A and B are shown apart, each in its own frame.
Chain A
Amino acid sequence: GDSVTQMEGPVTLSEEAFLTINCTYTATGYPSLFWYVQYPGEGLQLLLKATKADDKGSNKGFEATYRKETTSFHLEKGSVQVSDSAVYFCALKGGFNKFYFGSGTKLNVKP
């Protein structure tokens, strides 16, 4: 069945460091891929998305490229800020509009 695997956290970085959070997926067909962010005490918010192979989603300095050959959708940011501290979830939309989430990666950014 469809599933998402993402790197375990927590990830601790200093401000202005480069961020990569790995995400790989298993799916039948051609799913859409998403990154969601959850700030403490809040619900999940869409960060970025990609709907087909080689698409690059981007938002707020974050980027992720849909790589069909490696079934990956890694999240990157060139220079993180303290305000980026949150939990990041990779997700895919499979058949019947069902969404599958990874276990989440907590990011801590220190000043």
Chain B
Amino acid sequence: NAGVTQTPKFRILKIGQSMTLQCAQDMNHNYMYWYRQDPGMGLKLIYYSVGAGITDKGEVPNGYNVSRSTTEDFPLRLELAAPSQTSVYFCASSYSIGGAGELFFGEGSRLTVL
């Protein structure tokens, strides 16, 4: 049972570099999300998607981009990395059956921007 898989688990970037965090789920969930978790803080929603080809901004989208070409994959692109993007990033997915569908999380990607 793979669930939600994120890669890489760790990455160090220099200021101004770009990278893509990969996320894949094998549960056929229509909803997918990207969150960031800063030390001692809760989770902030970056972007989410309600299905292939449909994405929308969350609370903190600046400096990030996403795409959703398939149901399974939801990559997060960081352009021109800044120290403020140092964080742990979590991808998650969910199904929607009334109110019952919960979030399933990946193990996280720890990003440091120096």
List the interface of chain A (C-beta within 8 A of B): 4, 30-32, 34, 36, 42-46, 49, 51-52, 89, 91, 93, 96-104
Q: Contact at B50–A96, with CB atoms within 8 Å?
A: yes
Q: Is B98 an interface residue (CB 8 A)?
A: yes
Q: Contact at B45–A45, with CB atoms within 8 Å?
A: no
Q: Contact at A51–B100, with CB atoms within 8 Å?
A: yes
How far is A51 from B45 in the complex, measured between Cα atoms in Å?
22
List the interface of chain B (C-beta within 8 A of A): 31, 33, 35, 40-43, 45, 48, 50, 58, 90, 92, 94, 96, 98-108
Residue numbers in A under 8 Å from B94 (CB-CB): 97, 99
Option from B42, B98, B99, B108 in Cβ contact (under 8 Å) with A89: B42
Q: Contact at A43–B108, with CB atoms within 8 Å?
A: yes
Q: Contact at A101–B100, with CB atoms within 8 Å?
A: no
List 17 additional contacts besides A43-B90, A97-B50; criterion CB under 8 Å.
A43-B105, A44-B90, A45-B105, A46-B103, A49-B100, A93-B99, A93-B102, A96-B50, A97-B31, A97-B101, A98-B45, A98-B58, A99-B92, A99-B103, A101-B42, A103-B42, A104-B42
